[in-house]
């Protein structure tokens, strides 16, 4: 695994994806991100490691444009600006992350065996929570109106 840290762009595959985005024309970058997310989200049998790594990177880019998100890594992620990504990518990004952490994912399996796997899972949960915030439990209603 060409991975040096837990960040979304801290592996060879994701860093290469960032470079590919930089090399693409501005009007093609959203389609590249959407394709990566769809490939991961649509995987029903097995998600291989490179597809999972690219998906996490793409999710970080989508989450980075959310008002509650943090910008993606400027050192290993894309250095060129991205277009404003449409909000309809958010549910697709959540679906992709759900596949990344599923039992059918090579990436999740690799991180389960890694010493800092729980930190990786926390970072994945943080990205997911930006895009699909957990709802607070509702207090019981004493009276119905």
- At residue 73, does pLDDT exceed 90? no
Q: Find the length of the chain.
A: 145
Dist. CA 82–CA 17, nearest whole Å: 13
The pTM score is: 0.90
Query: For the chain, what is the mean pLDDT?
Result: 91
- At residue 134, does pLDDT exceed 60? yes
Residue with tokens 């952490």: 101
Q: Which two tokens stand for residue 93?
A: 């990004």
| C-beta of residue 96 within 8 angstroms of C-beta of residue 40 | yes
Rg (CA), the chain: 16
pLDDT digits (tens, 9 = 90+) for 34-56: 999 999 999 989 999 999 999 99
Dist. CA 22–CA 15, nearest whole Å: 11
Residue 36 belongs to what H/E stretch? helix 26-41
**pLDDT confidence of residue 40:** 98
**pLDDT confidence of residue 75:** 73
pLDDT digits (tens, 9 = 90+) for 77-130: 899 999 999 999 999 999 999 999 999 999 999 999 888 889 999 999 999 999
Direct distance between the N- and C-terminal alpha carbons of the chain, in angstroms, rounded to an integer: 58
| C-beta of residue 13 within 8 angstroms of C-beta of residue 47 | no
**pLDDT confidence of residue 4:** 77
- At residue 133, does pLDDT exceed 70? yes
**pLDDT confidence of residue 137:** 63
């Amino acid at each position: 695994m060409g991975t040096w840290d837990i960040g979304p762009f801290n592996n060879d595959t994701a860093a290469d994806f960032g470079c590919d985005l930089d090399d693409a024309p501005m009007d093609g970058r959203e389609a590249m991100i959407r394709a990566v997310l769809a490939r991961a989200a649509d995987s029903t049998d097995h998600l291989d490691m490179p597809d999972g790594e690219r998906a996490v990177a793409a999710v970080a880019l989508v989450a980075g444009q959310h008002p509650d998100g943090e910008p993606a890594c400027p050192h290993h992620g894309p250095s060129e600006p991205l277009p404003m990504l449409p909000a309809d990518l958010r549910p697709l990004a959540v679906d992709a992350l759900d596949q990344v952490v599923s039992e059918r994912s090579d990436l999740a399996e690799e991180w389960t065996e890694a010493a800092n796997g729980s930190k990786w899972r926390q970072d994945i949960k943080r990205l997911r929570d930006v895009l699909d915030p957990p709802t607070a439990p509702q207090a019981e209603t004493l009276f119905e109106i």
